[in-house]
Structure formats: structure tokens, C-alpha cells
Structure 1
Amino acid sequence: MISAGSSRTRQAASAAGGVRRMRWTKDMNANALRAYYRAKGKETAGIAYRARMHCFFAELEPSIPVTEQNLADRVRNIMRSKIFDDTELERLRREAIPSSNELATAGDEAPQATDQLSRVEAAMDLPVVGDSDDDEMVSHELEQMRSILEEAILETRSMPLENRPRLPRIPLSKRNRAVVRALNPMLVTYLEASRDLCETDSVLFGAAVAACRIIGAKLSMAGRATKQSSAIPAWRKRIQDRIANARALIGRLISFRSGNNRPRVVRTVRMAFAGTNISLSQPDITQKLTERIDDLKQKVAAWGKRIHRFTERSRRFNQNRLFQSDQKRLYKSLERPEVCGAGPGPDQANTVAFWRGLWSEPVNHSEGPWTEVVASQCASITPMDPIIIMPDDVAEAVRRAPNWKSPDSTDCITTG
């Protein structure tokens, strides 16, 4: 009896002189499912069962030459085309699973890690490979992941905490979860051998680094500390380039005005006057050169002031923001170590003598006639009453000032 989907799902077998089509009967389809259930057992995913399924099908149908991939495709087509109903599928399953006890040893020969990684590969939605080397490929992937994990753990063990890379956020996907599930059993050996909490932390961090490397996420190896970027803004770099080009052009123009008629200098001068009606042979070329040089100098000064204004504005903005958040830190940044507390303080007698020599000694200055005019105009002004500042007045003025802003015995504002 020919199955309903056999006309669409015929397998090709190599034959001399061309390709021979083969029709699948219902018994052949049933034997394919029996071999599938017998090799699969209670597994729900993975491709490591294909070799066993191929062996079981060869025992049931020794006269049919079929490859592992063709057999797997045939089983998948049977499931999709609903050749057998649910009752028949359950009957074939019950017939196949008890008989699998005879080859339980053969089914257990594959390492447990191999089956585990094969399930991971299936969860990662990788394309199905149609070779008989599927088990070898799975083992190779597993060994590669294990070597990456071991290398990452060895690196993080001897790495200081401040030098550890910052771990990126890994998006949630089926593939990334499968990688993490595959790495979890590999950590058992390292975690059991850890002696303290620090070593456990390094093992877990190394596993996270290994997962990022396997997935392909980028790791920042510059350390965890986020350093402030010192990159020059693009607009500022453009202005600096304009200033450099203008200064170079000014130098060429001055050189040409001084009598340097080299071809390279002349070519630059012609480019400077391009688009104008100025010729280098006209009589007033020297005046035109001077005007052009002055114009470029004014542009350079304007560009430099633009950068200076932005720098000053940024400095004031940062200081105001720091003053609102942390005044102590602002005052500490304004201190000058070479002035505050640098060396012994001056002697009191020498200080008094110095300032007394400045203000108490009469000095005859050479005053112009305008000083007499100013003095005559100010003669009618009533002098201000003398003010005597007592220590109590000073104490009252500084009573509400924060003590960490007041000068200490060295007359320097401290922030400690």
C-alpha cells in the first residue's frame, strides 16, 4: 500500500547511470517511526539520536539504502503530513520504547555532556546538519566552550577588582539562554574546588566573561572606572584647524611680501586671492597683501576668542554646579599647594616692618597738573568719619561663617 504523502516525499538513492526514486510504503513509514521512537527514548530535543535511529532502521529494513539525514527528513515529513493518526503514533511508541532496553547501553555510550550540548544546539535554532559527524561536531563545540571558560576563569583569578572589564547587558534570546544553560554544569567543578568567597566570586565573574565571549558581546578592557572623556569637541577641532591653516597662510603671505618668489609660495598667494580681481602684478599688491594679512589676523583672533569664551563658560558652569552639590570639594580644587602651607610662615616683626615701610614712610611722587585739578574739585567733600574695627566686630562678622572655610593658624583657608 502506498502512503498518501509518498509521492511528494521520495528519497533518492545513488545508482549507476542516474538517480532512482523510491516509494515509501506504510510499513516502511511505520518502521521509520519505530526506529525513531526507539532511538529517541524520552528525549525531547537534540540530534545525537540520529546515528542510533539509522542503526535501528537498518535492522528493520536492511534492504533500504538510506542516509541519516534522509531518514530524519522522512520522519519529520511523516509527522507533518499526518500519515498516522494519534492512536497509531501512540501504538508505535509503545511498541518501540520497551524494545529499547536491549540497546540501553549503546544509547548511554554518548557522554552526558554531549547530549546536553546537543539540546543546547537545538535550542539555539541552529541549522540541522546532514552529516554523520553530528556527534563529533557537538563534542567539538563543547570542548571549545569549556576551553573558553577555563581561560576566562584563569584570567579573572589573578586580576584586581579595579581592572576587571565592565560586563555589558546581554539581550534575552533563545540562543543566549542556551549558552548560559550549557555553561552552568561546567561550573560545578570550579565551585566545588573554591576555598573562599573571593575565589567563588572570581569563578562566577569568569563564567560571565566566558558567556560574553561565546555570544560575541564586546567587553571594555579599560577597567571598571569610568574615566571622563578628554576628547576635543568636533566644532573646537574645526576652529583649531582653521586657525592653523590661517596662520600658515599668513606666514606665506608675509614671506611673499618680503620678496620670496618661490613657485610654492606664489601658488599659495594665488590661491589666497582666488575669486577676486587682484593680480600679483598690479602696483598696489603690497597694500592688498597687508589688508589680506590683517583680515586673516582678525579672523584668527575672533576664532581664538570663541574658544576662550566657551572654555571660560564651561569652567564657570562646572564650578557653579560643583558649588551647589559639594562646596568643600570646590574650595579644595581652588587651593594652591605651592601657596598654602608651603614653607614656614613669615616673622611677625618683619611683616609689620614691611607694611609699615610701604604705608608710613612719606614718598614724594611726581604728580601731574591734573592731580591739582582733582584735589580742588574734591575739597568740598566732607571726609568720612574714622572707623575703628575692634576684635569683637570681627568675631561677630565671622560668627555665622562655616568653620571649615575660616583661616587657620597658617592664614590659609582649610577644607579638612
Structure 2
Amino acid sequence: MRAYYRAKGEETAGIAYRARMHCFFAELEPSIPVTEQNLADRVRYIMRSKIFDDAELERLRREAIPSSNELATAGDEAPQATDQLPRVEAAMDLPVVGDSDDDEMVSHELEQMRSILEEAILETRSMPLENRPRLPRIPLSKRNRAVVRALNPMLATYLEASRDLCETDSVLFGAAVAACRIIGAKLPMAGRATKQSSAIPAWRKRIEDRIAKARALIGRLISFRSGNNRPRVVRTVRMAFAGTNISLSQPDITQKLTERIDDLKQKIAAWGKRIRRFIERSRRFNQNRLFQSDQNRLYKSL
């Protein structure tokens, strides 16, 4: 925790302190091998599990970050205490070197984020609305918030240069895509949402299967009514009248077969109307969306 507070300093966000914390911990405990990520995980566990109370954490923070008066006093007494505290002075010299390296690393990361943002905005400007990928839900975390805070100032130049709402929308969408790429969230391929929307829904497949089975049953019933007494046909007819008091040997079986066939035909007609209503609605929806994005393409398709 001393290495954490010393590396963190007055920062409230960002992940650039990890390298400094690792250097400080290596200076304090050189015999314990640990990585930056493992060290950050241990600090997070200590903070969440409340192993130390607030007073103990405050004491560790004061020991790691001395006040300005203490620094001045230590500076005045440094010539006298040089022989007594050599390791402390060596540790105090580390932040100067570490800060310069971390500043270079942060500037490099910002330049990389800026290039990703510019590339994403250029892609979204030339991309039709129906081909835009669906943005995933990004979990809330300190790292993700730091990425968003770093991207916000970069958007000022693009938003000031935007001429209309469409261009502003493309800039904001490109920034969201860039944030997902920087964080590492998975983005679907371009045009995947359109393919998913045009796919056959599961309920339609079930209805189509029912229609196919009903038509096959109608064919067997008509065949039995015409005098086909094969075992497979008879077995199918008995299954069609299962759960009823109708017997195949009763005299009015022909009338019962006709009623059953008419009932199945009515069900097929109702199922077909439902599918046709869905197809018509989907066609109108796609035409309206295409009219909003590309009218010339819509008129050519008519």
C-alpha cells in the first residue's frame, strides 16, 4: 500500500501509476517477484475487502506521501542524515526517472488512441446507417472511464468542424467504436445487424413446419378416403383422430374425414396469412429505412 500511495500521488484516475508502483515495490521488497497486474490486483483486493481500516490506510498514505513541511525539513536535514538513510534517499530519487518514462508512455498511448479515433470516424462517415455494427455494452470500470475521459477532449476538433447533425452523429458513433476498440470489446462485423434482421425468425420456421405436416396429413387423409388401406396410411389416420370417439369402421367416416381435412385447410390458411402479414410488414419497414438512407437505391429496387 505504501508503494501504491507513493506512485498514485495526487492522481484520481488513470493507469500510468502502475509502472511507478512496481518500481517502488521492487525497491521496498526486492526479494518478492511480482508483476504490475498482480500488484494492482492485490491493491484492489485490499481496498475492497477492508483488511485495513480508514485510519490505518491514512497512516500508510501519510508515510508514503509526506507533506510539504516534512519535505522541506527533510531537505534541510539531508546533509546530516546522509549516512543514516541511504536507501530512503535512493528510493526518493526513483520517482524523477519514473515520471519521465511514464509521461512518455502516456503520450504514446494518447497518440495511439488519437489515431484509432481518427480511423474510426473516417470509417463511420462513409458507412451507411444499416451497415453500422451494433455497439456492445461496456462494463463500468476505472480503466474504461479513463479511456472515455481521454477521448472526450479529442472530440472537440471533430465536433467543431461538423456541419450538420448527420456528421455529428457519425463523429459520436466513431468515438464509440474507437472506445470499444481501445478497451478491447468485441464488435460485430459491418452489415451483420442487417443480416440478422433479415433472417427467418424462429416462430416462422415453426409455423412453416406445422404447415408442412398439416399438408402431409391432408394427403394421407385424402388417400385413405379414396380407398387406400395401407398400414402406414391407416396408422396416420388413426393418429389424426386420436383422442376422439371416432372409429375408422363407423359408417360416417367419410364425412368425418372431410371435416378433418377442411379443418386442417383452415388452419393452414390462418398460418399462411400470419406469415404473409409478417413479410409485408418487413418489406415496408426495410423500404422505409432504405428511403431514409438512400432514396435512389429504393427507387431502383421498385
TM-score range, shorter chain: 0.3 to 0.5
- CA displacement, residues 7-46 of structure 1 (integer Å, 9 cap, x when unaligned): xxxxxxxxxxxxxxxxxxxxxxxxxx98777655544555
Query: Structure 1 residues 325, 261: CA separation in 2 closer, same or farther (over 3 Å shift)?
Result: same
Structure 2 runs not aligned, ≥5 long: none
**Could you tell which deviates more after superposition, 48-57 or 109-118?**
109-118
C-alpha separation in 1, matches of 2:90 and 2:237: 72
Query: Structure 1 residues 281, 217: CA separation in 2 closer, same or farther (over 3 Å shift)?
Result: same
1:181 Cα offset (Å):
0.8
Q: Indicate conservation of the 8 Å contact 1:157/1:202, yes or no.
A: yes
Q: Indicate conservation of the 8 Å contact 2:130/2:194, yes or no.
A: no
**Could you tell which deviates more after superposition, 127-136 or 238-247?**
127-136
Paired position in structure 2 for 1:54: 22
Establish whether residue 173 from structure 1 lines up as the match of residue 141 from structure 2.
Answer: yes
Q: Indicate conservation of the 8 Å contact 2:131/2:191, yes or no.
A: yes
Paired position in structure 1 for 2:218: 250
Paired position in structure 1 for 2:6: 38
Quick check: which has more Rg, 1 or 2? 1
- CA displacement, residues 176-213 of structure 1 (integer Å, 9 cap, x when unaligned): 54331132356589889999999887555411332355
**Could you tell which deviates more after superposition, 244-253 or 199-208?**
199-208
Q: Indicate conservation of the 8 Å contact 1:124/1:178, yes or no.
A: no
Residue 81 of structure 2 aligns to a residue whose secondary structure is helix
Structure 1 runs not aligned, ≥5 long: 1-32, 332-414
Q: Indicate conservation of the 8 Å contact 2:13/2:146, yes or no.
A: no
- CA displacement, residues 68-99 of structure 1 (integer Å, 9 cap, x when unaligned): 89998999999999999999999999998799
1:111 Cα offset (Å):
33
With structure 1 as the length reference, what TM-score do the two structures score? 0.36
Residue 185 of structure 1 aligns to a residue whose secondary structure is helix
Q: Indicate conservation of the 8 Å contact 2:129/2:293, yes or no.
A: no
- CA displacement, residues 38-58 of structure 1 (integer Å, 9 cap, x when unaligned): 655544555654654565677
Query: Structure 1 residues 244, 100: CA separation in 2 closer, same or farther (over 3 Å shift)?
Result: same
Q: Indicate conservation of the 8 Å contact 1:162/1:223, yes or no.
A: yes
How many residue pairs get aligned? The number is 301
1:311 Cα offset (Å):
13
Q: Indicate conservation of the 8 Å contact 1:37/1:96, yes or no.
A: yes
By percentage of residues, which structure has more helix?
A: 2
Query: Structure 1 residues 271, 172: CA separation in 2 closer, same or farther (over 3 Å shift)?
Result: same
Q: Indicate conservation of the 8 Å contact 2:133/2:193, yes or no.
A: no
Q: Indicate conservation of the 8 Å contact 1:117/1:182, yes or no.
A: no
**Could you tell which deviates more after superposition, 222-231 or 156-165?**
222-231
Indicate which of 279, 284, 291 corresponds to 2:247: 279
Paired position in structure 1 for 2:190: 222
**Could you tell which deviates more after superposition, 76-85 or 250-259?**
76-85
Show the 5 A alignment for 1:319-330: none
- CA displacement, residues 245-299 of structure 1 (integer Å, 9 cap, x when unaligned): 4443232111122233344322211212223454445666545534544555576
Q: Indicate conservation of the 8 Å contact 1:117/1:142, yes or no.
A: no
Residue 31 of structure 2 aligns to a residue whose secondary structure is coil
Q: Indicate conservation of the 8 Å contact 1:38/1:99, yes or no.
A: no
What percent of counterpart residues are identical? 95
Residue 93 of structure 2 aligns to a residue whose secondary structure is coil
Residue 193 of structure 2 aligns to a residue whose secondary structure is coil
Query: Structure 1 residues 107, 77: CA separation in 2 closer, same or farther (over 3 Å shift)?
Result: farther
Query: Structure 1 residues 120, 260: CA separation in 2 closer, same or farther (over 3 Å shift)?
Result: farther
Establish whether residue 267 from structure 1 lines up as the match of residue 248 from structure 2.
Answer: no
- CA displacement, residues 231-256 of structure 1 (integer Å, 9 cap, x when unaligned): 99999998887666444323211112
Residue 98 of structure 2 aligns to a residue whose secondary structure is coil
Paired position in structure 2 for 1:384: none
1:124 Cα offset (Å):
29
Paired position in structure 2 for 1:70: 38
Indicate which of 208, 211, 224 corresponds to 2:176: 208
Query: Structure 1 residues 302, 235: CA separation in 2 closer, same or farther (over 3 Å shift)?
Result: same
**Could you tell which deviates more after superposition, 196-205 or 307-316?**
307-316
Show the 5 A alignment for 1:9-408: 39-40=7-8, 42-44=10-12, 48-49=16-17, 52=20, 149-160=117-128, 177-184=145-152, 202-212=170-180, 245-280=213-248, 285-286=253-254, 288-290=256-258, 292-293=260-261, 296=264
Query: Structure 1 residues 154, 257: CA separation in 2 closer, same or farther (over 3 Å shift)?
Result: same
Q: Indicate conservation of the 8 Å contact 1:47/1:134, yes or no.
A: no
**Could you tell which deviates more after superposition, 194-203 or 317-326?**
317-326
C-alpha separation in 1, matches of 2:126 and 2:281: 45
- CA displacement, residues 122-179 of structure 1 (integer Å, 9 cap, x when unaligned): 9999999999999999999879866753542341243356765687998988665433
The one of the two structures with greater contact order (alpha-carbon pairs below 8 A, sep at least 6) is 2
Q: Indicate conservation of the 8 Å contact 2:128/2:293, yes or no.
A: no
C-alpha separation in 1, matches of 2:86 and 2:251: 89
C-alpha separation in 1, matches of 2:118 and 2:99: 30
